[in-house]
Structure 1
Amino acid sequence: MHESTILPLDTLPIQPATMANSLGRTVVIAPHPDDESLGCGGLMALLRAAQVPVAAVLVTDGTMSHPNSQKFPPAARRALREAEFADALRILGVEPTASLLLRLPDGATSNLGPEAVEAAVASLVRYLTEWKPATIVVPWRRDPHPDHRTTSRLVHAAVARLPNPPRVLEYLVWAWERAAPADLPRLDEVTGWRLDISAVTAQKQQAIAAHRSQIEGVIDDDPAGFQLAPQMLVHFARPYEVYLEALPLTTATT
């Protein structure tokens, strides 16, 4: 892909924190526990500070972060990561009981069969129909992690079934570190902006830190287990978050 066709993420226009208020009732979709805080923690904190209702959907069970742990077998890993997810939401001012846990297999969502896909989409449709968000925030459609891409497809399939589809914004997580040129947003498919979150950066960092199993080595018996590297976390310590929105009549696909 030619560089001139890539949306310049680091020079997108800055929108003031008050812009968040215009999004209305918002649902944030997280493929894994921690994606909500990394990608959208500032937005959620700003929305709740303005008393705008916010909820979250957690798509996978998070168990593949440390698949070889004996101290934390799969059920314990899921419980730990869901507890961290709930703690992060509380820090951001979001009531965890408003969240939806789909508990799809971590690291294997791209292998779901038709029945499992239909069940996940139907669950999302029921939840969104009940919650009636004005805005849904989902992972960037080509974020370079299979679970992130599957999450995008599931959410867009659910939105297509809603009689009054909400606005859909996209956020980046792994694209900051691992994106190939073809993964990056193009000028002909999306527009974007940087949301000023400087007023709530400390709150966002506290929410990220709540995911202790991903940062502090809480699960210490799987040397090959996943940890968020310091160089990765730098991308989420900035005083802004990037949001993308499909251009009208775009024909781009995921």
Structure 2
Amino acid sequence: MSENLIKASEGRPWAAWQQSAHLARASWITPDQLLPAGRRLVLLAPHPDDEILMAGGLLAGLHGREQDVLLISATDGEGSHPESATWTEHRLRRQRPLESRHALQQLDLDLNRLDWRRLHLKDGALPRDEAFLLNHLNQLLEPDDVLMTTWRGDGHCDHEALGRAAAQAALARQVQLVEVPVWAWHWAQPDDPRLPWSRAHRIALDETRVARKRLALAAYHSQLEPDQGRAPVLPAHLLDCLLQPFELVFL
């Protein structure tokens, strides 16, 4: 799968996804069922903003449990605006991690207690770093960890590389793997057979968690604002799908 899927698709509005029989059949779980007290969440994000797109609602309930979270940012997101005179790679490399910091604060997380590691790998080139990522995960994963990252079929090379590395590491270290579709909401059909629906579950989010996730996503100005006539990187219909009262995961 490639970014061509993302570019070729005009996107699917939430109204279309509401007709999905597969989505309707996805079982509901609570945040505490996925991440009981005492279990550590290892959240692996390809770019700044993916941690919120994937799991902003889950993270929004972890105030006081920051010690149970290890956030790994693989890249600094410098490749989101190719050929832009406004958002140069140099500017994005500084701006996007700052946006993530502000977003995490909007979730009421104490960043002084959060273990947040940035790998500074090249945006758009994570497939070449899969061996490094696998080795890195194998060294840091502990028994009973919950390893969450983007789905290995998500349609973006970086998302898929992390998904593949995480799947191998989870198998080797015998930890729970949680894959999250992000861009699939944009390019897939509502009952698309390419999605692993048999593994689909919905993490239930209350109004407070959804509201905090919405505030957190608003911190990503670089991704939400038009640039020199170009549409925002994150289209409104994608955000709408990701701000429902659940987060879709593949277990």
Quickly name the TM-score band, shorter chain normalised.
0.7 to 0.9
- 1:161 Cα shift? 4.3
User: What's the counterpart of residue 54 of structure 2?
Assistant: 39
- 1:85 Cα shift? 1.5
CA distance 1:184–1:94, shift in 2 (3 Å): farther
CA distance in 1, matches of 2:161, 2:172: 17
Map Cα deviations across residues 41-96 of structure 1 (whole Å, 9 max, x no partner): 00111233666622211122311111223344322211111111222222221527
CA distance in 1, matches of 2:103, 2:22: 30
CA distance in 1, matches of 2:205, 2:73: 25
1:150 aligns with 2:164: no
User: What's the counterpart of residue 15 of structure 1?
Assistant: 29
CA distance 1:67–1:104, shift in 2 (3 Å): same
> Which of 102, 112, 118 is residue 101 of structure 1 equivalent to?
118
CA distance in 1, matches of 2:250, 2:147: 12
User: What's the counterpart of residue 7 of structure 2?
Assistant: none
Partners of 2:134 and 2:169 within 8 A in 1: yes
- 1:153 Cα shift? 1.2
CA distance 1:91–1:125, shift in 2 (3 Å): farther
Map Cα deviations across residues 213-251 of structure 1 (whole Å, 9 max, x no partner): 11134xx4x544752111111102211111221xxxxxx
1:58 maps to a residue whose letter is: S
CA distance 1:194–1:161, shift in 2 (3 Å): closer
User: What's the counterpart of residue 140 of structure 1?
Assistant: 151
1:25 aligns with 2:31: no
- 1:19 Cα shift? 2.8
Calculate the TM-score normalised by the size of structure 2. 0.78
CA distance 1:15–1:118, shift in 2 (3 Å): closer
User: What's the counterpart of residue 166 of structure 1?
Assistant: 175
> Which of 90, 109, 123 is residue 136 of structure 2 equivalent to?
123
1:95 maps to a residue whose letter is: L
- 1:25 Cα shift? 1.2
CA distance 1:14–1:197, shift in 2 (3 Å): same
In structure 1, the gaps of 5 or more residues are: 1-5, 246-254
CA distance 1:10–1:214, shift in 2 (3 Å): farther
1:176 aligns with 2:185: yes
Map Cα deviations across residues 5-35 of structure 1 (whole Å, 9 max, x no partner): x981233222344434427211111111111
* Secondary structure at the counterpart of residue 70 of structure 2: strand
Q: For residues 71-90 of structure 1, what are the structure 2 equivalents within 5 Å?
A: 71-90=86-105
Partners of 1:65 and 1:225 within 8 A in 2: no
CA distance 1:121–1:175, shift in 2 (3 Å): same
CA distance 1:204–1:133, shift in 2 (3 Å): farther
Partners of 2:29 and 2:201 within 8 A in 1: no
CA distance in 1, matches of 2:26, 2:110: 28
Q: For residues 53-64 of structure 1, what are the structure 2 equivalents within 5 Å?
A: 53-64=68-79
- 1:160 Cα shift? 4.2
Partners of 1:33 and 1:58 within 8 A in 2: yes
C-alpha root-mean-square deviation of aligned residues, in Å? Answer: 2.7
Calculate the TM-score normalised by the size of structure 1. 0.77
In structure 2, the gaps of 5 or more residues are: 1-19
CA distance in 1, matches of 2:218, 2:94: 17
Between 70-79 and 222-231, the greater mean CA deviation after superposition: 222-231
- 1:133 Cα shift? 6.0
Between 202-211 and 88-97, the greater mean CA deviation after superposition: 88-97
